[in-house]
Structure 1
Amino acid sequence: MKRKHGHSSEEANVDMTPMLDIVFIMLIFFIVTTSFVKEKGLIVNRPENAQKSNKPSKNVSIRIANDGTITMNGRQIDIRRVEANIQNFLAENITDNAVVQAGQETEHGIVVEVLDQAKKAGLHKLSVVVEGDAS
């Protein structure tokens, strides 16, 4: 009775079916237990008409001289009519900017009154420039 060492006539096979069953059961478990969360983020509001944003907008130019005279876009106006003149300008032009040029010797009360009326008229971006040689 001699035995040969080495290869046997039957090769060992591993049955993969139970392992595949376990993998699929684990996959189903993870899919069922996963919670889906809606991600939070910023909502971007794009402009409706891109052509409007490309057009250069006119600024309202208000100049207050040292003696208190008010000039808007080259036209002299009364302090009580600043708001109405700005509203007329805004009816024809799309802008929210205004530049108020005041002389160094101009009374601050007049400048504040003009800024208040511009704000009431609908202008939100107001700039004040002080000039030394305004007359």
Structure 2
Amino acid sequence: MKFVRRVADQEPSVNLTPLIDVVFLLLIFFMVSSRFIDEKQLELELPGATSAQAVASEQAVIVEINADGDYRVDGRGVAANALVASLLSLRAQYPDRPLRLRADGAASHAAVVRAMDAAARAEFDRVEIATGGDAR
């Protein structure tokens, strides 16, 4: 009986077709299951507080922010870069008074955050945010 010898010159090969199929199936799965959200700036109209309690007529350091982002500290106009210094001097004069922020509804969020940051740097213990019904 004769046995046929195979040629030993053939190199073993790996079939990549199933691997490519699996990769394409994963790609299709992630494309279908992903959500692409077009995030835009939302137009918000900030409401007044309905459950706000009236603040006692305690004297407070009042910081007002108008729609243009201009600051007034106790009735005097203050530049944004001098806000911390102004609050520090008032904190030294009136250490027990809270800080009350009165921001216009159209004021930018950045202007309000800048005022709150200045209050923190001036080490005010209490910061109040005035709403539509709060008195001075």
TM-score by length of 2: 0.51
- In terms of fraction of residues, the more strand-rich structure is 1
Report the counterpart of residue 98 of structure 2 in structure 1.
97
| Structure 2: runs of 5 or more not aligned | 1-56
**Would the aligned equivalents of 2:64 and 2:73 in 1 still touch at CA under 8 Å?**
yes
Give the share of equivalent positions with the same residue, in percent. 21
**Would the aligned equivalents of 2:62 and 2:100 in 1 still touch at CA under 8 Å?**
yes
Please give the secondary structure, in 1, of the residue aligned with 2:130: strand
Which one has a bigger Cα radius of gyration? 1
In 1, distance between residues paired with 2:58 and 2:95? 6
Deviations along 1:23-45, whole A, 9 cap, x unmatched? xxxxxxxxxxxxxxxxxxxxxxx
RMSD, matched Cα:
2.2
In 2, distance between residues paired with 1:94 and 1:58? 12
TM-score by length of 1: 0.52
Measured after TM superposition, the shift of residue 94 of structure 1 is 2.3
**In structure 2, do the counterparts of structure 1 residues 125 and 59 end up closer, same or farther at CA, with 3 Å as the change threshold?**
same
- In terms of fraction of residues, the more helix-rich structure is 1
Report the counterpart of residue 62 of structure 2 in structure 1.
61
Report the counterpart of residue 71 of structure 1 in structure 2.
72
Deviations along 1:77-119, whole A, 9 cap, x unmatched? 0111111101111222222511000011100011001101111
In 2, distance between residues paired with 1:97 and 1:76? 19
**Would the aligned equivalents of 1:102 and 1:131 in 2 still touch at CA under 8 Å?**
no
In 2, distance between residues paired with 1:99 and 1:63? 8
Measured after TM superposition, the shift of residue 130 of structure 1 is 4.1
Paired residues, what number? Answer: 77
In 2, distance between residues paired with 1:85 and 1:127? 18
Report the counterpart of residue 9 of structure 1 in structure 2.
none
